[in-house]
Every structure is written in C-alpha cells, then in structure tokens.
Structure 1
Amino acid sequence: MSSILVTGADLAPQALELLRDFDIVYAGKAPTEDDLVALSGRHDPVAIIVRYGKVGPAVMDAAPSLKVISKHGSGTDTIDKIAAKARGIEVVAAVGANAAAVAEQALALLLACAKSVVPLDARMHAGHWDKATHKSLELGGRSIGLLGLGAIGRRFAKMADAMGMRVLGFDPYAKDLPDYITPVDLDTLWRESDALSLHCPLTDDNRGLLNAATLAQCKRGVIVVNTARGGLIDEAALLAAVRSGQVMAAGLDSFAVEPMSAGHPFQGEKNFVLSPHIGGVTSDAYVNMGVGAAQNLLQVLERAPAAA
C-alpha cells in the first residue's frame, strides 16, 4: 500500500475516507525538517499533505516515489516550489477552502481595532465605565484597501461593502471583479485607504511590502489588518508606526516568525490585537481544507497511475 505523509497530527475523517486506499503517516503537530526527512525515507510517500513545517529539497529527495505535495489550505510559501518543479513533483493547494474562515477573522480584527474591543473589555472587567470619554471609529463610509483579491480577499470585500465601506483593491492578477471593488494602483491604495487588509500570498517580490516608506504614504491613523503572511510586513516599522500614531491600530493573525516567541516586541503593546494564526482554524475549514487537499492529490496521482 502506498503511503501519504501528513505534516500534522490529524486529518478530517472526510478526507481520510477519500484516502482509504493509502497508508496515512502523521508527522505530529510540530515536525522539524529532520522529522520529515526521516519519515519520508522510512515510508517513501507518493504524496505529502502539508499542514505544519516546511517541505524543502531534503524532504523531497528522501522520497523517490513522491509525485505531489498538497497544501492543507491555500498558502504554499512553506513548500519549495522551485525544488519541486525541478524534481517533477506537482504542488497543489486547496484554494478557497478556508476563505470564509479567514475573511471572518479579518473582519473581527478590523472591528476590534476600530471599536477598541480589547481595551474596553479590560477596562470593564477592572470596574471602569468609559462611556463619557471613549469614542470609537465608524467604518461605514470609510475606505478599506485590500492587497490581494483571491477567494479570501473577495469574500472580505463583500463583507466590507455590506457595512457601507468603499472597497479599494490591488491585485495585478485579479480578473472579473465585482462592481463593488474599485481596482487601484498601490500608490492610490496607500493614499486613500482608512484601513488596509492583507490577503495576498508571500513572494520574494512582496516581502516587507508594508514598511516604513509605504506606511508613511498612508493616511495618519490608518488601521492595518493582516490574516495572510507575516513576512508581508516589516514588523519593526509597523511597531514604530503604531507607537507614533501613524497607524491607529494593528490586528494581526500572522507573524514573520511563528510561533511567536516570548518577549516579541508586539507583546504588551497597546493598539495591537493579536491572534495565533488561527484565521483558517474552524471546524468547517478543517474539513474543507482536508477534503480539498485529498481531492487535489488524488487528481494528480490519477494522472500518474504507476505512483499509486
């Protein structure tokens, strides 16, 4: 029986049913490269489902039968796609499987920042009543700038439009946009957005896209939301911008280094709302991503029947 390596500790039952003809090998919740190399060498999987950790050349070379690497989700930046292509290994992703979950998390972070949900909650629990001194930001009528208009960005755009926001979007690859999204260039996005929400994959070209220079082009008091990849933001520049008031608040679900280590500069800082990269972690998305990853790899293996 051919093996499939899962770089995680579990997979949705619905996905396992699709893969019932394979031996499923789990790498655990926090697999290292050495773990994955060892498991690949021992089991020689025909496919890898990537949940946690990174899959690079060493892992691929340890599995001569490997035909496909399937992402449990949409972001493939943890897979060395150049190395995979060189070895004839196909890389696929469950695009859109967690779109609703991540878009909802982005909306939650945006509202938490605009409405001071976290500090007001803390003040209330401490016995304070700040009605006479607090004013929240009203989002209706303001502009939201979206970087990335794939499945997640479009879902979020629809929510923002429903709240009466003006939706601006930058995505050079997006086509057939709904009429409530106004496509703009980056200079316009920085200049006109009252809030920014990141929904693009991380590439060598856009790493550190939100930095001191681009943040300085934004309106003073802009809100920054990131449920995509931490590497899109220069974290030191964002911290300085929040402290100076150039950025009113930042709602972040992803970070340059994960998991976030103790003593990270964002910890304890006011005007930062943080969550541990759980935007796509819902019971529904768990099933959707598992099934999507399984279906994608099966399609590849069907084109290469000798592998299965």
Structure 2
Amino acid sequence: MASRGYILLQISLLLTVATTAFSLSPYYYKNICPEALPTIKKLVGAAVYKERRMGASLLRLHFHDCFVNGCDASILLDPAPNIDSEKNAAANQNSARGFEVIDQIKAEVDKVCGHPVVSCADILAVAARDSVVALGGPSWKVQLGRRDSTTASRTQANLDLPSPFMDLPALINNFKKQGLNQRDLVALSGGHTIGFAQCFTFRNRIYNATNIDPAFAKERRVTCPPTGENTNLAPLDPTPAFFDTAYFNNLVKQRGLLISDQELFNGGSTDNLVKSYSLYPEAFWKDFAKSMIKMGNIKPLTGNQGQIRVNCRKVNY
C-alpha cells in the first residue's frame, strides 16, 4: 500500500498539472500550426504598409478587447439577437476599426493551418505586437492559447473602457480594476505614440484647458472648431506613424492631445515615469512590452472554455 506521504505528493502533482495545463504559452502553436504566426506577421505588415494608421487601430482593438471581460475577442462580435455588441459601446462606435484586417488574417490562418485552430483572441494579441514592430517599436513573446468568448457586453464596455476625459485618479482606478498598476498605465498609454483621435475627444481641452501649451492649442483649433466637425482627426503625437517617445516628450511640454494624456504629467504621481520615458526610450520599450504581456493575460479563456470561432464576427452554433 502506498504511503500517505506518497499519496499526498501525487495529489499535489495532479493539482499542479490541473492549474498549469491550460496556462498561456508563446509556443502554443509550435506543433499545432507552425505557420500561424508568420502568416499573421505577413498580413499585418501588408496592412500597415498600405495604411500606417492601421497599426494603431489593431493595437487598440487588442486593448479594448482585454479591458472588457478579458482578452476573449468579444469586441469582434457583430450585433445579433443574443449579442449586445461591444462595437456599439461609446468608446468603440464609429471609432474602433481594423475588423476587416482581422477577418482577412483569420481566413488566411485557417487556410494554412488546414482548419480553425487559432483563436480570434490570439490573432488580436499577435496582430497588436506585429503592428508595433511594423511601426518601429519593440517586440515581445506573445502568450498564446486563448479561446474565444460566446458573449459580449456593451454595458460592460461602457463601464470598463477608459475615457479620454478621465483625470489621473480615475485612470489609476480604471487600470487597477484590471490588475494593472501605475507603471502599466503610463507604459500602455505610450501606445498613443501612434495613431489619431477625433475632434470631439479633445475639443474641450484645446479650448478650455489651462495646462496646455497655447501654440499647440491654437494649432489644433485649426481643424477642430468649437462646434461641428466631430470626426476630424488629429495625431496623438507629432510622429503618429512611428513608435517612438514623442508622446512623452509632448506631455512634458504640455502638448498632450487628450485630457487623459496630459493627466499623466500634471503634477501627480506619474510625472517622474513620464519624464523617465521621455529621456530613456529603452526603458519605455522594455516596460511597454512587459505591460502588453501583462494586459494580454487578463482573464483569458483557456482549455475547454469558450470556443475557437470559425468567423470572428459570429459565435459558432
């Protein structure tokens, strides 16, 4: 008869296997479909080459996915009788984009793999990394093995996605709810070194803020009048097609476009980090990569949870 100690050891080992069997791994597709990641990289590179702004859009999709019930591709689901699409949430409506690129990637990846084995959630995570790299930014090993949700929540998206009008305490609390700290907040906000924002998101700042460079405010008012033209675009930093530290340099000069941007350098607890990133690009790159991995680990569906969608826009039935 086995000793009590041996039995306890076996139980302990089984519990360890049970808790780690479905953990994410950068090598998840190595044997299942080795061509998956190179295919995603190729298609993201082509999409960004065609339109540099697409890199920011794909990065944002992953961010907006993870902040609503975890990284589960819920943001990709179209409205349906039982799906209250997150695409209609305030932060996404007429704003989130890149869905067609994800559709194209999904179709091509399923083709090279022979059948649907790569989740839409993993495609979002890899496409975000490859977009940053395509725009000259850092790379990192994306943790893989997520599965796709069968639900979406516009209500949760409205509650959990950070607003461009938030002050620093609200931003800190918003990220804390996702298990992210102040360093993650500042590093991930550095994603605003690429892309654009719509006039309605920064109008109040350029006309009413006191913590803004007057010349910068005047420059932005040219294409964002006091009323109307809500969808006119402005770059989030002077080099929106390159992943660099111009975003942080701008904040130090009080030239942040959004209220939520400038709040990171406004006499608060994140000032030193902003200044550090503006001076040391390597520190920003390193922390951005770490925070992206951390964000990508927010409540993933693994194992038998969720499903691998055939069409990223629809639940499999």
TM-score for the superposition, normalised by structure 2 = 0.28
TM-score by length of 1: 0.29
Relative to its length, the structure with more strand (as a share) is 1
Higher relative CO (CA 8 A, sep ≥ 6), structure 1 or 2? 2
**Greater helix content:** 2
